[in-house]
Chains A and B, each alone.
Chain A
Amino acid sequence: MTTAISITDLKKTYANGFEALKGISLEVQQGDFFALLGPNGAGKSTTIGVISTLVKRSSGSVKVFGKNVDTHIYDTKLDLGVVPQEINFNQFERVQDIVITQAGYYGLPRKLARERAEKYLRKLGLWEKRNDRSRLLSGGMKRRLMIARALAHEPRLLILDEPTAGVDIELRRSMWEFLTEINEGGTTIILTTHYLEEAEQLCRNIAIIDEGLIIENTSMRNLLEELDSQTFILDSPVEISAIPIFNFEDVSVCKVDSKCIEVTIAAGRNVNEVFSELDRLGIEISSMRNKTNRLEQLFMSRLNENGLK
């Protein structure tokens, strides 16, 4: 399989002495949906900045589809689409003009640029707004416009830096569907987000970056398998008189309120067994949910481990 992006020993120290990247190495395979996670200031945006050449690296190398960004600057940029964290289009320009102009920078003839603008503005639900000044768009629409702009030249690799920040849940889910669709169409996607549910839902592989270092780089499945326990919130339609006592040592229960209990189940314990036990105790369950997002639980534990080091 071709490597979409290959980063080797990447370091970046800013002019003020801040060491944003301390030598990260990372590979993302073609066709992947990859999550790059980390707390604020961890180095995610700097990494994206270096890939997109907006940030000058101190040392290390970056290859896009096997080509070095220094020696094949034009080919690598043609393969790359970037959706930055901050709104960075001219807010006085019309929506359609922003996409057409971006396509022009990539050498697309005017007619093709118009067709691409229509295609992606329609897909992202912005076609009706095409003649509006972009400053009149809502926050969510501005984010979608940046995605349409980044796709105008149909790059093989799309990097999204917190694309759903500040976007309501309905819109976020429609963006997930859209991103899944283009990923299934063959576009490799690298996503940074603070919504860990989003990363868990969309991404197959993951890297966690903290204080300029990669502290985890694995598949989502492997990472989630490392959870040593999961906590569920179970709701009952009737009052639960007493805290149920299980026959299993690796399951603990506490009461949240009269109709709700919290059950922590160790990894390896079958959830069906827990439900059978609840049935035996005569406790009816109407709904269940994870107490915290599973990825969030792992993410916090990795950051804590890194902090202890």
Chain B
Amino acid sequence: MFTNHKYIAFETIVIKEIRRFSRIWLQTLVPPAITIALYFVIFGNLVGRRIGEMGGFQYMEFIMPGLIMMSVIQNSYSNVVSSFFSQKFQKTIEEVLVAPVPNYVILSGVIVGGMARGLAVGAIVTMMALFFSDLRIEHPLITITVILLTSAVFSLAGFINAVFANSFDDISIIPTFVLTPLIYLGGVFYSVQLLPTFWQVVSGLNPIFYMVNTFRYGILGSSDVDVYWAFLILGVFVVGLYSSCIWLLRNGKGIRT
């Protein structure tokens, strides 16, 4: 298959993925925006005023990067897991499997589709945040890089979940019992400096903690973690998960009998 054919196939998958979540925008784009708006109103505005400062910033400013990151993580993950599992379930995945599309093109298309939704919701949430606080970005390059890498990591993770899932229950277990606790304990709402030493060490084992703090560093210029260390972790996750996904596709796990 020629390079331009592969690009057309990749573009086709991305367009299909974007068309899917845009078609059901009331389920995919609006609910996360409303949820995050409630966080801004309740935690940022009402409760935040009584909390005062956190990590040297107004509480609203402090939680804003974490809430944007939370929406990106959840939506990148859920887009890929629900889209790919539905394709498996309805057997529509066969459309692309019988075509001469290399595995890495299939994976890249699905992942970029997940990233597109994550970033679309992130953009909506960011626009909503502007109603509550001024947004200044201290390090734009770091901000953009970390959000792209994070959405890629969770799109890849969602793909693995979808490959192993055998029922619709299986695609909600990881987001409910793993992802949500990791996000809430990842320093979205508090600075890790507030925790006892033991829990600070435990927080260091949570990859989302590095992503949230690096994103916060990009926007506010302040972080609980070493940014270079965080990028190294993100890089390892992207490479490790991408390789795992390619291996699963090559072996036809869950998609070829």
Assess the B98–A107 pair: CB atoms within 8 A. no
Assess the B11–A104 pair: CB atoms within 8 A. yes
Q: Which residue of B lies closest to A97 (CB)?
A: B19
Assess the A56–B9 pair: CB atoms within 8 A. no
CA distance A74 to B98 in the complex (A): 10
CA distance A30 to B9 in the complex (A): 28
Count residues of A near B (Cβ-Cβ below 8 Å): 35
A92 close to B (CB within 8 Å): yes
Q: Which one of A56, A84, A107 has the greatest number of beta carbons of chain B within 10 Å? A: A107
CA distance A105 to B102 in the complex (A): 10
Assess the A14–B257 pair: CB atoms within 8 A. yes
Assess the B5–A107 pair: CB atoms within 8 A. yes
Q: Which residue of A lies closest to B16 (CB)?
A: A101
CA distance A24 to B95 in the complex (A): 26
Query: Which A75-121 residues have C-beta < 8 A from chain B?
Result: 75, 77-78, 80, 82, 84, 86, 88-93, 97, 101-102, 104-110
A54 close to B (CB within 8 Å): yes
CA distance A204 to B102 in the complex (A): 36
B140 close to A (CB within 8 Å): no
Q: Which residues of A contact B257 (CB under 8 A)?
A: 14-15, 49, 54-56
CA distance A78 to B102 in the complex (A): 13
CB distance from A136 to the nearest CB of B (A): 15
CB distance from B88 to the nearest CB of A (A): 11
What bracket does the count of chain B residues touching chain A fall in? 20 to 34
Q: Which one of B1, B13, B15, B95 has the greatest number of beta carbons of chain A within 10 Å? A: B95
Q: Mark B1-26, 1 if CB is under 8 A from A, else 0.
A: 11011101101110110010001000
Assess the B94–A102 pair: CB atoms within 8 A. no
Q: Which residues of A contact B87 (CB under 8 A)?
A: 90
B137 close to A (CB within 8 Å): no
B96 close to A (CB within 8 Å): yes
CB distance from B50 to the nearest CB of A (A): 47
Q: Mark A242-253, 1 if CB is under 8 A from B, else 0.
A: 000000000000
Residues on A lying within 8 angstroms of B by beta carbon are 14-15, 49, 52-56, 73-75, 77-78, 80, 82, 84, 86, 88-93, 97, 101-102, 104-110, 149, 153
Excluding A74-B1, A109-B8, 16 further A-B contacts by CB distance (< 8 Å) are A49-B257, A53-B98, A54-B256, A55-B257, A56-B257, A74-B102, A78-B1, A80-B98, A84-B91, A89-B95, A101-B16, A104-B11, A104-B12, A105-B9, A105-B101, A110-B8
Residues on B lying within 8 angstroms of A by beta carbon are 1-2, 4-6, 8-9, 11-13, 15-16, 19, 23, 87, 90-92, 94-102, 252, 256-257
